[in-house]
Every structure is written in C-alpha cells, then in structure tokens.
Amino acid sequence: MSNAVAEKKKPGFAAGAANYLDERVGAGGILKEFGRKVFPDHWSFMLGEVALYSFVVLLLSGTFLTFFYQPSMEFVIYDGSYGPLKGTEMSIAYASSLDISFDVRGGLLMRQVHHWSALLFVAASGLHMLRVFFTGAFRKPREINWLVGFMLFVLGMAAGFTGYSLPDDLLSGNGLRIIDGMIKGIPVIGAYGSSLLFGGEFPGEYIVARLYGLHILLVPALILIFIAIHLFMVVIHKHTHYSGPGRTDSNVVGYPLMPVYVAKAGGFFFIVFGVIMLISATFTINPIWNYGPYDPSPVSAGTQPDWYIGWLDGALRLAPSHWEFVAFGGTWSMNILIPMIVGIGFLVIVAAYPFIEAWVTQDKREHHVLDRPRNAPTRTGIGAAGVTFYAVLWAGAATDLIATNFKVSLNQVLTSMQILLIVGPIVAYIITKRACLALQRKDREIVLHGRETGRIVRLPHGEYLEVHEPLGEFEQWKLIDFKDYQPTLARPNSKGKITINARIRAAVSRIYFEDRIIPVTQTELDAARHDHPEAIEAPVEQEAKQITQ
C-alpha cells in the first residue's frame, strides 16, 4: 500500500476526499449515477433554478440578520442614528431592525438583499410554475412533484409573510391587523383562534417572537425538505424536453449533469446572486424607518402587503362591504369569508389541476415531451383564465394607487375590478383557446404547404405560382408531434350502467376536446408533397444546412 502511494503522484485534496467518501459511503456510485443525469437546455428550464438560488441567498442573508435582530415586543426609547425617530417609544424588534439598517455595518444592504431575494424567490417560483403548467410538464409521472412545487410556492408566501411582520413597523403591523380580522371573521372559532395566535387581544406581546420561530425555523426547514424532495424527483423522473427529432417520451436530450451542467449551474448561481446584490445596492426596499413603529391607531395611505400576498389583500378589497349580516346570535362577515373561500378554492384548483386533467383524458401513459401551449388549447385557455383571475385580484390590492396615479375615482376602479374579476377570466379563456386553435390551423397549413415566400414564378406554359418553401424536418417535427385527444363518450361500465362519474367526464371531455385540430398524418404529408413537386428540391438544401451547422 505505502509503496503504491510512493510510486504514484500524491493525489490532490479533491481526489483524496472523493476517495475517502467513496470507500465509506459508496459516494462514487451515487455521484456517477447523478452525474450521468442529463439536463436539457432551454431558458425556461432555468426559472426553477432562479428560485433555488434566491433561496440560497435568503438563507445566507437571513442568517446574517439573525445575528442582530431581536424578536421582542418590549418597549424601548429609540436612541439610534435616525433623527426623526429619536426619543420615540417603540418595540425592541423595530429598534433592532432600525439598528440593522443604520448602525450595523452592511446591515441595510443585507436587509435589502434579504427582502429583494424574497420577492424574487416567490416570483421565480411562480413563473416556474406557469412554465410547468403551460407546457403540460405536470402530467404523469410528475403529478406528485407538481404538488411538491405547489407546496413550495405556498411555503414561500408563508415565509415572506412571517418575515414581513418581524420588523414590527407600521406597515407590517397593519398587515397583521388584517390577518387578525380575517381569523376573527371565521364563524365560531374565529375569536378563539385569534387570541390563541396573538396570546390574548391583538396585538399582544408574543406575536413577533412566535412569527420569528416560524420564520427562521419551521418554514425554512419545510422549504428545505420540499426542495430536497423536489430535486430528488427531478432526478428520478429526468427532465422533460421540448419536442424535436430524436426527442421522445423515452429519452432526454441535453448535456450530462457532470461536468457541463454543474459548471453552468455554478456560474448561473453567481449571475443570480450578482443581480440581487446589484439591485439591493441601488434600490430601496421596505424603508421601515419611513413607516414608523407599529401602533394600532394610525393607518398610512398606500398600505399594501408584499406582492405575493397582494392577491389575497385584493380579494378582501374587492368584496362588497355590505355582505355582512347578523343571524343566529352572531355576525356573519361574508365580506371576509367569501374572499377566504375564493382564495383557498383557487389554490386547491391549482394544486389539483394535474389530477383533474388526467381524469378527463384518462391518459395513463408517461409524458416526457412537453406540449407547445397551442397544442393543448383548453388547458392553455384555462391557464390564461387563472392568470387573469389572479392578476385582477393582485391589481385589486393596488386600487388606491391606480386611482391616484391615473386620476380616476377609487370607487370606479373598485367597481370595474369587481366586474373584471368575473368577466376577465371568461374572456381570457375564449380568446386564448381560439388563438391556440388558429395557431394550430396555421401550423397545419405550413406543414402541408410550406412557408409562403412571396416569390412568384411563371411557369413555361404561362401559369403563375407562388413558391412555398417547405419546412426542414426539425421544424416540421415540432409542428406535427403532438397527441390528439378525442372527446370520450359516456360508456356503460361492466354492469351495463352509465355512472354519473362517466357522464360528467364525458361532458367535461367534450368541453376540452370538441374543438380540436388534428395533427398532420403521414398520408396527408405524402399527399401534400405530391401536390407541390416544386417544393421537393428545397428540403434537401435545408437539411444539408441543418447538418453542417
């Protein structure tokens, strides 16, 4: 053994460490397996990573903040560097957040890094989720991972909300007050729930410390666990890819994770980190010193939550305030309950969507090739409706800003948004679905007859023709490779009965697939080639180009 070492060159530290691990935990096998995983290349696949890296930045900056932040609601007289608050009575939590901002070196930068990356974390997860939705990446076998991702999105909201409340400034206090009101609005258990959470009457003396526990311990731990599960499943399932020649439901085309991808990802982390640092060093976020310490009486104009809570705030604002009545010896605050039910209902539908669609299509096969959104018109339409619904609620949280900045009446803005909330999604659904169908029709046209070139040719016998340039095989594949679903009929089961389930499914299936464009078949293609003999030469040329590239 010692001879062998003496003869060979001394291994480097990395190799040594790898060997050490390999001999004890079989890390080599794991790494080899992991390193051979293939990751495809498309910018939209990087959104999840943006979320992941902003979470890493959150962990780092959050840890810095814990060194200086004190989660106490005891009162102190502020004596820090910010003039207009000197001598003001405030909670220790607020005072320590002010100290982080003005008296801890790099503290304000870290607060801003933490807050900007929080906004980016949720935004990137949201956009990532939309990518997964519109490309149908949630289909079998990835339904569970959709749920995990959904949990991450909700946990991101929870992390953000608990963090937002920690500085105990006027703005965050107002946010807590709204939560308190919402809890109290729940019939029967509301009042108990509120006094349980706040340890007595709002605001009490405990809430900040409790939120702190949730914010730095429970929620980040859950997020970490879910991220681990999420990534693990990505490795098991392998990544999806967009369709193209050689890309099927049983392979993955891209670079192996090791070393190409890992090197790229490492670089990408620093890009995300760099952008966050740049923004945090140049743009203010949550200037808590402007808002002043929390005190239940004053409310400032322009009081809003962070963007990811905005849609819930909007739901509350858009609910007509007269939906409140007294019955059975209690007040029923429908103007609070309905928005809560709508919010939860929306989330439940988002979470359940993969299962709903699988139930409609009865498609039990695995899918690794992504859909182009236009090739699933109904799903894309539903997605557009959902996005519109969410966006109107979100804009609902900014009614006052819209009113002042565009010089319109606040009441008119509210009424238009209430109408838009109902009408908007329906219109969005119809327009999007029609647009998808039109695009599919266009694709069909292009595949069968080629692209219009605008070149007019006169044939020897005098006939004029526009030259259509046929597609290369790569492009053509993209346009014709999708599955055609047909509406299912309500068939009798083995007992000869048509169940209600089957009837409903048949009805929904009709909505989904009644209007559809059938993909181009090989026979049609052959026939088309026959009709356009002038188009035959070009593809050879095109293919040659593709190959030499």
Q: Using CB under 6 A, list all residues that contact ligand HEM.
A: 55, 58-59, 62-63, 65-66, 69, 97, 100, 111, 114-115, 118, 121, 156, 159-160, 163-164, 166-167, 215-216, 220, 223, 286
What minimum distance in Å lies between the beta carbon of 420 and another protein?
17
Contacts of 385 (CB under 8 A, 6+ apart): 425, 426, 428, 429, 432
With tokens 């068939």, the residue in question is 491
Contacts of 57 (CB under 8 A, 6+ apart): 113, 117, 272, 273, 276
In angstroms, what is the C-alpha Rg of the chain? 29
What minimum distance in Å lies between the beta carbon of 60 and ligand HEM?
9
**Residues of this chain, 215-274, that bind another protein according to CB under 8 A:** 268, 271-272
- Distance (Å, whole) CA 346 – CA 312: 11
**Residues of this chain, 103-122, that bind another protein according to CB under 8 A:** 108, 112, 116, 119-120
For 146, 198, 302, 347, 487, the CA distances from 181, given in Å and listed in that order, are 32, 12, 19, 21, 47
What minimum distance in Å lies between the beta carbon of 117 and another protein?
9
Tokens encoding 63? 């840890």
C-beta closer to ligand HEM: residue 134 or 289: 289
Q: Which does residue 114 touch among ligand HEM, another protein, none (CB within 5 to 8 A, set by kind)? A: ligand HEM
Is residue 360 within 8 A of residue 509, CB to CB? The reply is: yes
What minimum distance in Å lies between the beta carbon of 318 and ligand HEM?
24
| Helix locations, 214-261, DSSP H | 219-237
C-beta closer to ligand HEM: residue 88 or 418: 88
Q: Pattern 309-328, binding to another protein, x per CB under 8 A?
A: -x------------------
C-beta closer to another protein: residue 73 or 395: 395
**Residues of this chain, 481-510, that bind another protein according to CB under 8 A:** none
C-beta closer to ligand HEM: residue 212 or 394: 212
What minimum distance in Å lies between the beta carbon of 311 and another protein?
11
Residue among 344, 362, 532, 332 at smallest CA distance from 447: 532
C-beta closer to ligand HEM: residue 243 or 286: 286
C-beta closer to another protein: residue 78 or 477: 78
CA dihedral 409, 413, 418, 419 (to 10 degrees): 100
- Residue 247, classified by CB atoms within 10 Å of its CB into exposed (0-12), middle (13-18) or buried (19+), is buried
**Residues of this chain, 32-91, that bind another protein according to CB under 8 A:** 41-43, 46-47, 50, 83-88
- Distance (Å, whole) CA 514 – CA 231: 37
- Distance (Å, whole) CA 153 – CA 130: 12
**Measured distance between the N- and C-terminal CA atoms of the chain, rounded to whole angstroms:** 51
What minimum distance in Å lies between the beta carbon of 166 and ligand HEM?
4
Q: Which stretch binds another protein (CB under 8 A): 142-150, 201-209, 289-297, 536-544?
A: 289-297
Is residue 49 within 8 A of residue 268, CB to CB? The reply is: yes
Contacts of 520 (CB under 8 A, 6+ apart): 444, 447, 448, 479, 480
Say whether residue 409 binds another protein (CB under 8 A): yes
What minimum distance in Å lies between the beta carbon of 412 and another protein?
7
Residue among 495, 494, 492 at smallest CA distance from 506: 492
DSSP 138: T
C-beta closer to another protein: residue 392 or 517: 392
Q: Which does residue 223 touch among another protein, ligand HEM, none (CB within 5 to 8 A, set by kind)? A: ligand HEM
Strand boundaries in 407-542, DSSP class E: 451-458, 464-469
Q: What residue ranges bind another protein (CB under 8 A)?
A: 41-43, 46-47, 50, 83-88, 101-102, 108, 112, 116, 119-120, 123-124, 127, 170-171, 268, 271-272, 275-276, 279-287, 289-292, 295, 297-308, 310, 397-401, 403-404, 407-412
